[in-house]
Amino acid sequence: MLSSLPAPPLRWIPCVIALAIALFLPAPARADLLGHGPALMAGYSPDEDASGTAQDLALVSIGWRWRWDGADAIDAFLEKAHIDFSWAVEPMIGGVFGDAEAFETSVVPYVQLRPLGLEGIVPYFEAGIGLAYTSLRNYALGSRIELSDNVGLGVAFEDGSGRQWSAGYRFRHLSHAGMFGEHNEGLNAHFLTFHVAL
């Protein structure tokens, strides 16, 4: 199945190399249950193609999540409502399989909110907008470069060995908001997300 994944365009190979190098660089200090570490997204899209035919697409991406605490002023304001604010950046690379096959990569910054004072299983909410590249054809996306709009929720928890994990649901909408062409049908997808903080 992996052999059927289209080869990435040559201009994206430096991005792949940069991501691989970044995996081995020293990472910022761990920040509680949503710290830095590898991330995985497995998703599904039932959207129609450009001809109006419903398609079944499976999407799988791997990458890395870096997380930082929020700005002091925002933290102090939200702390009054017992909410912890942080932000993260996720560079991801992956493929589309099923009724169509494609290569995709993205870099998305996220805002993450979670209640303060909880231990064990901690819920969180996240939202972010970033850039994505997709080689997906016949979906009237109008461009290979797209905006990646994301919103999700999940839970973070720690296992018996002290390793920190998170699992959640994420909704993603790809489109270019009319900036890169006339066609802009967009593509919606639903993802399960997994992350481990190292």
Overall pTM surpassing 0.85 (yes/no)? no
Alpha-carbon span 185 to 180, nearest angstrom: 12
Whether 168 and 151 have beta carbons less than 8 Å apart is answered as: no
Q: Is 134 left (phi over 0), alpha (psi -120 to 50) or beta?
A: beta
Alpha-carbon span 193 to 190, nearest angstrom: 10
Number of structural domains the chain divides into: 1
Kindly report the CATH number assigned to the domain that includes residue 13.
2.40.160.20
Rg (C-alpha) for the chain, rounded Å, is 18
pLDDT of residue 155: 95
Q: For residue 171, list its beta bridge partners.
A: 151, 190
- Mean pLDDT per 10-residue interval, the chain, length 198 residues: 46 52 40 74 92 91 91 82 91 95 96 87 95 90 91 90 89 84 83 93
User: In 10 A of CB 29, how many CB atoms?
Assistant: 9
Handedness of CA 41, 47, 51, 54 (dihedral sign): positive
pLDDT of residue 115: 92
| Residue 131 structural domain | 2-197
